[in-house]
Amino acid sequence: MLDATTRYAALILGLVAAALVMSLASGSLVSPRGVPGPTVGMAIEPLRAAAMLAICLAVCVGIAIVVGRVVNAAVAAFVIGGGLAALSMQCGTHLDLLFAGGDQVMVAVETLIWAVVVLLVAAGVMRLTGPLPDQPWNDPATATDPASVFDSDAIRGAAAGALSLVAIWAIAGNDLKGQAIAATTLAGVATGMAGRMLAPRIQPVLLFAAPLVFIAIGQAWIGISGGDSIAAWAGGRASGLGIPMPIDAAAGSLMGVAMGLGWSRGYVEDHAE
């Protein structure tokens, strides 16, 4: 058993390294306004932005796997989320989206793409770092087995992602980037804790993507209903569900679910049998 100093050192160094690596992708996200935009789709060169993001994320995942082998898979996911949060803080906000004439439906599509990416990342991390400490019975190989990832218990737990909409509605009230990340992180915490209580014995791979799916549903609803515009925002009528951007949602989901998994550890241990 590694001592606490080693574990905390791995976490801190991992977060710093992940933040530095993911920050390298900000230049590729530059929008026609001359600053990093709020979404990949609004970059001047979306394909270049996506490619650079993929490269940086791959390196970030590699760093997180090293941390996960020292600590555990949940901490590895938190490190990846921290890296994405560092990138997100350099990118545009909801207001940038509105003034650039962005479409919330397309934002929802990008959030769903991030849900797939996060699902793959979570599966890979859990496969390579082993089961969580409170679930020693789980075989790491099942983390990448679709039949296990999407079984009925996993889907039941992932339904807790609906709490994301409540969390974001309650927290996201202005255009500050930090508040958007805080709201999505709280959404992840709620999903992680409730999801584990609904399905305490399964590997929580699907839980990491669940908040993103429900956030995308909220974004799509705002776009379809026409409730997101400069006039609505200026008049205080815009919904807070449209405030988090896709990278905000990905960062918050990874960090928040990881925190929720840690805080629900006692419940899982009580239901080990």
Q: Which residue has the tokens 């679709």?
A: 146
Pair 256, 188: CB distance under 8 Å: yes
**Tens digit of pLDDT at every position of the chain (273 positions):** 567 888 899 999 999 999 999 999 999 999 888 889 999 999 999 999 999 999 999 999 999 999 999 999 999 999 999 999 999 999 988 888 888 877 888 999 999 999 999 999 999 999 999 888 777 777 888 888 898 889 999 999 999 999 999 999 888 877 788 899 999 999 999 999 999 889 888 889 999 999 999 999 999 998 888 766 676 676 666 677 888 999 999 999 999 999 999 888 776 655 555
Q: Which residue has the tokens 């508040």?
A: 179
> 46: domain range?
4-270
DSSP secondary structure letter of residue 44: S
CB-based contacts of 135, cutoff 8 Å, min separation 6: 201, 203, 268
Q: Taking Cα atoms as reference points, which of 10, 34, 11, 53 lies closest to residue 258?
A: 11
Q: Taking Cα atoms as reference points, which of 224, 269, 248 lies closest to residue 104?
A: 224
33-63 burial: b if 16+ Cβ within 10 Å, else e: eeebbbbbbbbeebeebbebbeebbebbbeb
Pair 63, 17: CB distance under 8 Å: yes
Report the pLDDT value the prediction gives residue 262, as an integer from 0 to 100: 86
What is the rounded CA–CA span in Å between residue 87 and residue 200?
A: 32
Q: Taking Cα atoms as reference points, which of 112, 157, 127, 109 lies closest to residue 64?
A: 127
What is the rounded CA–CA span in Å between residue 171 and residue 232?
A: 18
Classify residue 270 as exposed, middle or buried by CB count within 10 Å of its CB (0-12, 13-18, 19+): exposed
Report the pLDDT value the prediction gives residue 145, as an integer from 0 to 100: 87
What is the rounded CA–CA span in Å between residue 45 and residue 41?
A: 8
Q: Per the confidence metrics, is the pTM higher than 0.85?
A: yes
Report the pLDDT value the prediction gives residue 4, as an integer from 0 to 100: 81
What is the rounded CA–CA span in Å between residue 13 and residue 136?
A: 26
Q: How far is CA 179 from CA 72, 114, 167, 169, 245, in A?
A: 28, 20, 12, 12, 11
Would you state the torsion angle of the CA atoms of residues 107, 108, 112, 115, taken in this order, to the nearest 10 degrees? 80
Report the pLDDT value the prediction gives residue 237, as an integer from 0 to 100: 66
Domain count, the chain: 1
Residue type, 76: A
Residue type, 120: L
